[in-house]
């Protein structure tokens, strides 16, 4: 099923966090309640910057891995320019 999303959020300390989920609304709520990823727990509130949806679970994990490898200055551009075959 193509219901997975890769998202990029900006934390309160201006750092970025990239993740993937099949329920973006719930995941953002968890991040902001301090119950999301360990990285974001002390950096709330977080704000959604961008996301890429309609992905399979495998595609989402691959894209998340790729986004995490690029420098902060390129993450948003990389995610927005991702081309899905």
pLDDT at 84: 60
Give residue-wise pLDDT tens across range 18-36: 999 999 999 999 999 999 8
Q: What is the pLDDT of residue 81?
A: 87
d(CA 70, CA 73): 8
Structural domains of the chain, with CATH = 4-80 (3.40.1440.10)
User: What value, to the nearest 5°, has the Cα angle with vertex 37 and ends 34 and 54?
Assistant: 115
Identify the residue with better confidence: 83 or 14: 14
Q: What is the pLDDT of residues 24-79, one digit of tens each?
A: 999 999 999 999 899 999 999 999 999 999 999 999 999 999 999 999 999 999 99
Q: Where are the alpha helices (DSSP H) in 1-85?
A: 24-32, 57-69, 72-80
Comparing 25 with 1, which gets the higher pLDDT? 25
| pTM: predicted TM-score of the whole model, two decimal places | 0.91
Quote the longest CA-to-CA distance of the chain.
Answer: 37
Contacts of 24 (CB under 8 A, 6+ apart): 5, 7, 48, 51, 53
């Amino acid at each position: 099923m193509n219901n997975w999303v890769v998202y990029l959020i900006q934390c309160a300390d201006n750092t970025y966090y990239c993740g993937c989920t099949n329920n973006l609304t719930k995941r953002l709520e968890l991040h902001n309640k301090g119950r999301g990823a360990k990285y974001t727990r002390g950096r709330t509130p977080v704000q959604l910057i961008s996301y890429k949806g309609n992905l399979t679970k495998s595609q989402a994990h691959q894209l998340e891995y790729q986004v995490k490898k690029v420098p902060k200055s390129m993450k948003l551009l990389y995610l927005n320019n991702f081309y899905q075959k």
